[in-house]
Amino acid sequence: MASDTKVIGEAISRIDGLLKVTGAANYGMDWPIRNVAYAFIVKSTIAAGTITDIDTAAAEKSPGVIAVITHKNATKVVAYDPMRGIGILQDNKINFYGQNVAVLVAETFEQARAAARSIKVSYQNADSKTDFEKCVAEAVRPANRNDAVRGDFDAAFNAAEHKVDATYSTPIEHHHPMEPHSAIAVWEGDNLTLYSATQVVGGVQRGVATAFGLKPEQVHIISPHVGGGFGSKGGAWTNVILAAMAAKVVNRPVKLAVTRQNMFNSVGLRQQNRQHLRVAATAEGKLSALGHDTTQFTTTTNEFAESCGILATMMYEVPNSRVGYKSAAMNVIAPTFQRGPGESTGSFALESAIDEMAYALKMDPVEFRIKNEPPKDLSNNKPWSSRATVECLKRGAEMIGWKNRKPEPRQNRNGDNLVGYGVASGSYPSRQSPTSTLLKLARKGDDVTASVELAASDIGTGAHTIIAQTAAETLGLPMSKVAVKIGDSALPPAAGSVGSIGAASFCNSVADACNQAKTELQAKTDRKWLIAPTVAQLMDAASLNEYQTRVDAKAPADAAKYSSHAFNANFSEVWVNELTGMVRVHRHVAVTGAGRIMNAKTARSQVIGGCVWGIGMALTEESIMDPRWGNFITRSFADYHIPANLDVGTIDVAFIPEEDQFVNKLGIKGIGEVGIVGVAAAIANAVFNATGKRVRDLPITPDKLL
């Protein structure tokens, strides 16, 4: 029963856009809860040791203060998450600078913040591990990451005629979504409601339930709108637990928002990575060996390793490769997933090294990549479900004007600016996760409306809209007749907006529910149709004015037989001022093969967002830790610079038409992560083409070029 309504893929504006621009969309702290109190977190000022005393007397007497919560009087909670659960006031141990040591609850935010200053904490310092350069000497292989080995890397590399042996570094980065992490906690007996921005509604529900010894259904998460997350809102950090704890202690609703300054040591970060690349090739330009070894830090309380070498295992046809990892324990807040985790940082090193090899061989870097295109995924010997890398490279080269590039550096100028061109490829896996959808249909005569309900999340990427598009086209209804309800744990469970699984998981589940409803309605009548009936006709034939059905969808069984990824090519034209060393991305081109594009407008927006983030990664973003104390000296947007409009040149986005028959029923591949992969490398390679200076240590700041 095909539909004549074609809206999937169209550039439709967000259906929640009006709510957002008029301020009617409720984010985490916007809900009008009566009798609410405000909480403020106090942070440790040492990186390792114990609290010997905490004097709260002055704070307790401060105006408006309702409660002061420390490890001495905190509600007992269960350790719920080894990554995010450090600092829930259960003991006096300090594991990193900025760990939570107290929570103030007052009538107003200002009163809570003012009272926090009067708390006096005494510590017994312990030897801390806060200097990356010293800690890496003690790095060991992570317990959960074995080396990925293919062929005989050492023999092939040692015997090779052409080699690149270089080390690349990426710094600590922070997520910094526009909406800081926040929660409003409301208890009704043993039932807890949390208004909290989250990328994974069910994950936060389960984490909070575990912490307080509740059943998941006793915890209600409400999060219809999320002001960005980029991985940092994938689970319940301690601020969520502390909000619930504070509300329980004072027996009234509590709001707790993490300040921008405290975002640096409250909700994770991207760890610092040092990547050693060894690349070998024949004189004809065929790769013969590839080694990718990453050394990074993790926290002293948990092991997390960003998979920087994952692309080295599958992006190119290399018979001999070895990918390995080492981690060093440090007294720092737990590293976590950040947009394109592993692929974004790893692509900087890999694609820079590939560019260096192409230059050494005097080959065009686009042609060099195409020459080493793999026929299948060599990391697991599975065929590609589809792969558009070559098409992306060719299309991007045409769009950027690659023919204007000179092979030798410093050959293109525009006034005081040296002009350079760079390219990099990228990839990110495509997956569908189990997701359930409840579809409700209502009919009045020939008029049918649909309500699509699932506990999905929209982190600003347009999930509301593509869900509505899927339902509208599958049911044959106008978009205006489809209502979307998401971001509520009371709805059927859904995948999260993480790992680029959202669109594939949500839309396939919604399509299944809509198709199932039509099939079930048809089964309720014996009427035969000369042409495919409308939903209204089916409901009329079954004498129904209301109908609902639920689907529990998952990936097709055959999907696991294939290696499924979105692929891209990034091209940058940079202008480097020869006098100041300032780098400007004059133009950037991103071409992506990502299966079926659900909405041309929101997809383009996502890729642009990834490119902007990649520009920041390449040129400006760096969280700097003082190795003496373990605290971050970058504490706001004044010193942690995220690219603004004037930092971003023209960004051109294109998609390669791609029908993937195997990745999932609708052929959807995620694009939220792949948009950043390869961007920093393309810029770095362009800087080399402009200046002749190879910067292997991000960000590329003027001092590294002068």
Among all residues, which ones are annotated catalytic? 673
Contact in structure between 256 and 243 (CB atoms under 8 Å): yes
The token pair that represents 187 in the structure block: 């208890």
Phi, psi torsion values for 256, nearest 5 degrees: -140, 115
Distance CA 489, CA 501 (A): 18
Amino acid at 288: S
219 exposure class (CB count in 10 Å sphere: 0-12, 13-18, 19+): buried
The token pair that represents 103 in the structure block: 């929570």
DSSP 210-268: HHHT--GGGEEEE-S--S--TTTTSS--HHHHHHHHHHHHHTS-EEEE--TGGGGGTS-
How does DSSP classify residue 599?
A: B
Pairing of strands 384-386, 563-577: parallel
Contacts of 645 (CB under 8 A, 6+ apart): none
The token pair that represents 45 in the structure block: 């000022």
* Displacement of CA 504 from its chain's centroid (Å): 16
Peptide bond into 374 cis (omega under 30): no
* Displacement of CA 390 from its chain's centroid (Å): 26
Phi, psi torsion values for 392, nearest 5 degrees: -65, -45
Residue with tokens 């994770």: 268
Distance CA 660, CA 6 (A): 19
Question: Which segments of 430-545 are extended strands (E)?
Answer: 435-444, 447-453, 482-485
- CA distances to 243, 293, 435, 550 from 182, rounded to whole Å, are 9, 37, 26, 32
Residue with tokens 């107003």: 108
Residue 158: other Cβ atoms inside 10 A: 11
Amino acid at 116: A
As a residue count, the chain comes to 706
Contact in structure between 432 and 555 (CB atoms under 8 Å): yes
| Cα–Cα nearest to 588, from 489, 506, 697, 676 | 676
| Cα–Cα nearest to 465, from 2, 10, 6, 5 | 10
Distance CA 332, CA 651 (A): 36
